[in-house]
């Protein structure tokens, strides 16, 4: 029996890109800080939770075990900050220990390829913010399935999703463009007041929105849209079984 177990371990380790990663413990939590660069877009990959704050100076802080912190790559190219966990195997350490904290005066795009949460620390007032949680359809490898917990106060907010991510948003935006192309993503925007809401809903789950002046768009699948108030202008076309419900 011992020989069988030993042989199994050898075979599994041989299949790892970095065999040492499988048995390397995380070690004590430490923080590694990066500064001196600027970026407008964030691409966060698998195994990394992200906390976003707004501030005058660009800063990236990687919180991870001391044995793993150097395996988290932080690079900026053409204004895109890419965060990637280079470890390939995890047997003996707790899941989801890596958190990256970023501070920036402005962001325009967030591309999520992680299964872990993306959270705002304080209110984000980036004027035009585009959030994407999709599979490789967005031209980046990987699939984003993590949930979003964001407080927003801005002019334009665009969200694109075709996975199972859940969005818990609050605050205010002048224009919300919400596109769910497929799958079971959920948008909880009851606490996000949006003057104008434009939606494209081809997903199988429900969306909750808070339009102030208008709501318009199309519902193509079985997922419903729930509006927590009745705005003066409603122009939503229901193409299939999904419906717009006004909750007043």
Q: Along the 248 residues of the chain, how does pLDDT read in single tens digits?
A: 545 444 444 444 444 445 455 545 667 899 999 999 999 999 999 999 999 999 999 999 999 989 889 999 999 999 999 999 988 665 444 545 799 999 999 999 999 999 999 999 999 999 999 999 999 888 899 999 999 999 999 999 999 999 999 999 999 999 999 999 999 999 999 999 999 999 999 999 999 999 999 999 999 999 999 999 999 999 999 999 999 999 97
Q: What is the predicted pLDDT for the residue at 87?
A: 82
Number of C-beta neighbours around residue 51 at 10 A = 17
Q: How many contiguous H segments (helices) and E segments (strands) does the chain have?
A: 2, 17
| Cβ contact 229:245 at 8 Å | no
Give 95's DSSP letter.
T
Q: What is the predicted pLDDT for the residue at 90?
A: 55
Q: What is the predicted pLDDT for the residue at 27?
A: 78
- Tell me the domains of the chain and their CATH numbers: 24-246 (2.160.20.120)
Q: What is the predicted pLDDT for the residue at 75?
A: 97
């Amino acid at each position: 029996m011992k020989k069988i177990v030993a042989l199994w371990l050898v075979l599994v380790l041989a299949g790892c890109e970095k065999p040492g990663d499988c048995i390397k413990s995380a070690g004590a939590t430490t923080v590694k800080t990066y500064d001196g660069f600027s970026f407008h877009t964030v691409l966060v990959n698998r195994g990394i939770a992200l906390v976003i704050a707004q501030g005058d100076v660009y800063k990236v802080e990687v919180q991870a075990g001391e044995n793993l912190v150097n395996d988290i790559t932080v690079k900026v190219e053409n204004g895109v900050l890419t965060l990637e966990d280079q470890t390939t195997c995890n047997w003996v350490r707790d899941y989801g220990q890596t958190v990256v904290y970023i501070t920036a005066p402005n962001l325009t795009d967030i591309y999520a390829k992680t299964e872990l949460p993306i959270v705002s620390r304080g209110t984000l007032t980036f004027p035009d913010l585009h959030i994407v949680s999709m599979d490789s359809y967005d031209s980046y490898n990987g699939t984003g399935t993590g949930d979003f917990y964001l407080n927003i106060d801005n002019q334009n907010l665009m969200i694109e999703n075709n996975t199972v991510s859940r969005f818990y948003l609050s605050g205010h935006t002048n224009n919300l463009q919400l596109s769910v192309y497929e799958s079971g993503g959920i948008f909880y925007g009851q606490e996000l007041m949006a003057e104008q809401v434009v939606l494209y809903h081809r997903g199988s789950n429900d969306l909750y929105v808070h339009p102030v002046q208008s709501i318009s768009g199309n519902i193509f699948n079985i997922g419903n849209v729930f509006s927590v108030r009745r705005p003066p202008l409603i122009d939503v076309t229901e193409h299939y079984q999904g419906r717009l419900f006004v909750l007043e």
